[in-house]
Amino acid sequence: MAIFLTAIALQQASTRPWGWGSASDGSRYELSPVGLSRLEGGDATRRDASARTDCRWWPVYGDPALCGVRPDGEAAYRRLRLAYPALQVAMWLAVASLLLQTLRIPRQRLWQGAAPLATCALSAAGVHFVSREAPRALNALQQVDLHFGEFGFVCGVAAVVLSGFSALVALREPPPPVSDP
C-alpha cells in the first residue's frame, strides 16, 4: 500500500507548486519542479492575481528573464533541472515496484527492497534539488524568502517517507514460524 501511495504522491509532486515567496514589490513567486511563476496585482494570490508570468524549464517555454540564472548559479541550475526527471523516474520505479511486490518477483528480499529504496533515493534527490538549488540558481529568487510547504512539496516529502517505509517492509526478516506446543 505504501508504494502505491508513493506513486500517487510523486505524480502530484512532479508539477504542483512546492514553495512560494513574496517580493518587495508585492508580487508572489511560486516554484515547482518544472518552473517558476510570478503573480502580480490584487493581493497576488492564485485566484486574485491580475497578471501571471510563467517560465518553465520542463518543457522550456515562457518568459526567459524569469528563469534567468544567477552568475554563480549554473551548477545549481543544472541540478534544479534534474529534479523533474528524478521525480518522474522515481514515480515509474514506484509503479514497477508495486508490480514486483504484488507478483513477488523476484523472491529474494534484497531485490524486493531495491526498487522502493531507489525510489526513496530519487525522491529525496528531487526534494533536495528543488528546495536547495532553486534559490541558488535563479536571479528572480535572490531577494525572495521562499516558504516550502505547498501541496507539491508535501507530496514530495511524503514520497520519500512512504518509499523508505516500503523498502524497510520489503527488506524485513520474515517472522519465525509459530510452532504448536
Compute the distance between CA of residue 21 and CA of residue 32 in angstroms, rounded to an integer.
12
pLDDT digits (tens, 9 = 90+) for 80-95: 999 999 999 999 999 9
Within-domain flag for 177? no
Q: Is 131 inside any structural domain?
A: yes
Q: Residue 123 in contact with residue 164, Cβ under 8 Å? A: no
Q: Per-residue pLDDT averaged across 158-164, rounded?
A: 98
**pLDDT by residue (tens digit) across 121-157?**
999 999 999 999 999 999 999 889 899 999 999 999 9
pTM for this prediction: 0.87
Helices (H), 104-149: 109-128, 134-137
| Residue 176: all three cell numbers together | 519465525
Question: What CATH number has the domain bearing residue 77?
Answer: 1.20.140.150
Q: Does residue 49 lie in a domain region?
A: yes
Tally of structural domains, the chain: 1
pLDDT category at 43 given cuts 50, 70, 90 is low
Domain assignment of residue 101, yes or no: yes
Residue 161 inside a domain? The answer is yes
Q: What integer best gives the mean pLDDT of the chain? A: 90
Q: Compare 60 and 167 and report the one with higher pLDDT.
A: 167
- Domain that includes residue 82, residue range: 2-171
| HSE, side-chain direction, 13 A CA sphere, residue 144 | 26
